[in-house]
Amino acid sequence: MSDLEVRKLPFNFDGVEFDWHPGNQPFGMMMNAVTFQVIGFEHYMCKAMRDAEKFITNPAILAEARAFNAQEMVHSQAHKKHIKALLTRYPGLQEVLDGSVARYDELYKNEDLHFHLAYAANIEATFTPLFGTIIEHREALFGGGDPRITALMLWHFCEEIEHRSSAITVYNHVVGSRFYRMKQLGKVLRHIKSDVEAIHAGFAKHVPGAPTCGTKGAFARIPAWPTFRMIAGIIGSQMPWHNPERGHVPAYYKAWRSRYEGGADMTSEHLLAHNPVPA
Ligand SMILES: [Fe+2]
Ligand SMILES: [Fe+2]
């Protein structure tokens, strides 16, 4: 059972800028796309987990699936708050959200439960290498950006690392075939890619003057070796024998957790270091 905790943080995004990180726009836009994508994606996974419950015969795994869902639903609520703040100035962004949710609903209708659980297990497995690297380079990536969005993302990424084994545990119990999961990867990535591209196209359509960088260059400030390690970790996460529990957990996670447990305000994270964009 994951050592996970459902934390409802009192985020307030009133007046937040769409371009909340002008010093690192590619990364800022990537994080905006995360906000819009996680609503449909996390609902999709939660539906799959709920539908999987009747096939779970182990009480500890059932508890894991339910705890996972509880944590993911709180993530969605916080990102919805972020979107709500953006909608006050850019109401057309509702179409971007609706489009992404519809693509996930469509996928849920068109594929079976085994596919949905493979989708969740595959993508969740990438999060420890992906978000772990982002966390370890947080000063370079988030430094100088709006501290509220920084806090939102770091909270979410820490909790993704916290429940890193949940989706794969449920998949292994209900589906079992480790090779089936790997075989679905192409379809999973195509779906994610088309959703991300549609979200960025929606930003360009509905936000006048929005940076048009998409995700290109989002990781430009991560040096070559950690970037290589992150990519190797993401590829390794798709192997049939992969066990996310053994993934590297950044020291920041523990520090973040102790700050939370000590009653600190976790809704605003000031990372002031700011590395200039490499020439
Ligand atoms: Fe999440
Ligand atoms: Fe997750």
The DSSP 8-state label assigned to residue 23 in this structure reads G
Per-residue confidence (pLDDT) for residue 35, from 0 to 100 = 98
Residues with CB under 5 A from ligand 2 (ion): 160
For residue 70, the CA-to-ligand 2 centroid distance in Å is: 10
Per-residue confidence (pLDDT) for residue 207, from 0 to 100 = 96
Residues with CB under 5 A from ligand 1 (ion): 72, 75
Per-residue confidence (pLDDT) for residue 77, from 0 to 100 = 97
Q: How far apart are CA 114 and CA 3, in angstroms?
A: 26
Given a cut of 70, the residues of the chain with pLDDT beneath it are 1, 273-279
Per-residue confidence (pLDDT) for residue 274, from 0 to 100 = 53
Per-residue confidence (pLDDT) for residue 37, from 0 to 100 = 98
pTM for this one? 0.94
What DSSP string describes 24-74? GHHHHHHHHHHHHHHHHHHHHHHHHHHHHGGG---HHHHHHHHHHHHHHHH
Amino acid identity for residue 61 in this structure:
I
Ligand with minimal distance to 74 CA: 1
For residue 166, the CA-to-ligand 2 centroid distance in Å is: 8
Q: What are the φ/ψ torsions at residue 122 (nearest 5 degrees)?
A: -65, -50
Per-residue confidence (pLDDT) for residue 273, from 0 to 100 = 58
Per-residue confidence (pLDDT) for residue 216, from 0 to 100 = 79
Per-residue confidence (pLDDT) for residue 279, from 0 to 100 = 36
- The H helix count followed by the E strand count for the chain is 11, 0
Of 74, 64, 65, 75, nearest to 3 (Cα)? 64
Which residue segments constitute the domains of the chain, with CATH numbers given?
A: 23-261 (1.10.620)
